[in-house]
Amino acid sequence: MINLFTPDLTRFPPRSPRVKLGGYVHLPRLLDKARAVIAGKAGEFEYNCPLDRQFFDFTGIDHEAMLQAVKTGKSDGEMLAWVAAHTSRQPWEIVAWSAWLSQLGVGSADMHEWFVEMIKADGPAREDITTFFDLLDLDDYVSYGGKG
């Protein structure tokens, strides 16, 4: 049986970065990874990866403080209240940031090369993979048995 409160990321992926909680994209995925790290079931997923750090930089929340809050067993709703208590971001800023992050693409030439290699590996015929969220969704799908 799948227990979404203590996700086993060796068996199924975290939620898509597109899933929102309180207007924040990526927050549910970040919580899934934190819970999996705590349970020792993160597999190849990394908590506080560069995409996670986008959230931490935007909110001003320390990743260790958040991990400690997750360790207390808070639900998604309780974690959203915790985030709200630890950031000064306004709703309009959250909406703008989420829209920006959901469309984030690659920057440097090295990142372009890496991005292309990932697409070639996961879905060489795909022409619709243009953002990091597109790539993460594709990679999650392929990594758990789907065909890109």
One domain for residues 88 and 129: no
Listed as ranges, residues in the chain with pLDDT below 70 are: 1-4
**According to the model, what pLDDT value does residue 6 have?**
79
Q: Which domain holds residue 145?
A: 105-148
Gap between the Cα atoms of 69 and 83, Å rounded: 10
Q: Which residues contact 46 (CB under 8 A, 6 or more apart)?
A: 33, 52
Pick from 87, 68, 70, 71: nearest CA to 79? 70
**According to the model, what pLDDT value does residue 111 have?**
86
**According to the model, what pLDDT value does residue 105 have?**
87
One domain for residues 7 and 65: yes
Contact of 66 with 34, CB cutoff 8 Å: yes
One domain for residues 37 and 94: yes
102, burial (CB in 10 Å: exposed 0-12, middle 13-18, buried 19+): middle
Count of domains forming the chain: 2
Q: Which residues contact 10 (CB under 8 A, 6 or more apart)?
A: 41, 42, 43
One domain for residues 67 and 110: no
**According to the model, what pLDDT value does residue 2 have?**
64
